[in-house]
Amino acid sequence: DVLFPDKYNQVECLQLMAETCVLLKENDKARKYYLQAKKLKKSISEQSDNQNSEKHYEDVDSFSAEQLRILAKTPKENLKYIETYSNILRAASKSELTAQDYLDLANCQIQLNNLNFAQILIEESRLINSELPFASNLESLMALKEKDNEKALIKAVEAFIKEPGNSSYQNNVEQISKLMLLTPVQGIKKVGLNWLESGKIKDGLFALMLYLKFEPDDTEIGALIAKYLN
């Protein structure tokens, strides 16, 4: 109300308001802001004869929530994280934010180095589904950016034991273990023992049982697991 229209991008402001409303779970307000942005963009486009830009905006606006989620995945491969972030929120305005949506949003924010906001988005995801390994994988990436290799390894192992068949998670454990001058199996063992000592018995046992698959002759760890299971 106090800024002159030629001093800021009114369309972008309306879109940001819409995205904020989606995050606040106020989808009705979000759709109104998206509609205002669309109408204003069309008006500006007609004045500037920039029809191609307006056509793209209208095409995107007509997509279903699922189509928008598919579209959101596309630019992410080209590191267009801001566009990806916006498309995920546009999709959610037509349905609701899912746990995976929150994690995809967090991933975008991590790439943009907005780590505090990314952590908030991850926690929102866990309120819906606390078992998604991708959340731990993202926290591992954040820890690496913060040069906290110890935490990065813990989170990498956490993701891997939830989804052992995921080659990306396995590679993450391997790379971080290497940074810490450990083999991958040593990294898993280290985290598993730390979890047992700190009282995270279930996770610790899972990690050590996974370790035993690679090192079946480690009788000491085998005996330790048996002690907790008996």
Any idea what DSSP says for residue 131?
A: T
The CATH class, in words, for 65-130 is mainly alpha
User: H-type helices in the chain, by residue range?
Assistant: 10-23, 27-48, 51-61, 65-76, 81-93, 99-111, 115-128, 133-145, 149-162, 167-179, 184-197, 201-214, 219-229
**Rama region for 17: left / alpha / beta (φ>0; ψ in -120 to 50; rest):** alpha
Domain 135-230 indexed as CATH 3.30.70:
no
Cα 73 to Cα 59: distance, rounded to the nearest angstrom: 17
Torsion of the alpha carbons at 120, 122, 128 and 129, rounded to the nearest 10: -150
Q: Where are the chain's structural domains?
A: 1-62, 65-130, 135-230
Contact (CB, 8 A) for 184 and 153: no
* Tens-binned pLDDT, residue by residue, of the chain (230 aa): 445 555 567 888 888 899 999 999 999 999 999 899 888 888 877 776 555 555 455 555 666 777 666 666 665 554 578 888 988 999 889 888 999 999 999 999 999 899 999 999 999 999 999 999 999 999 999 999 999 999 999 999 999 999 999 999 999 999 999 999 999 999 999 999 999 999 999 999 999 999 999 999 999 999 999 999 98
Rg for the chain, CA atoms, rounded: 23
Cα 85 to Cα 105: distance, rounded to the nearest angstrom: 6
- Residue 10 structure tokens: 């009114």
Q: What is the pTM of this model?
A: 0.78
Instruction: Please give the single-letter amino acid code of residue 108.
Output: C
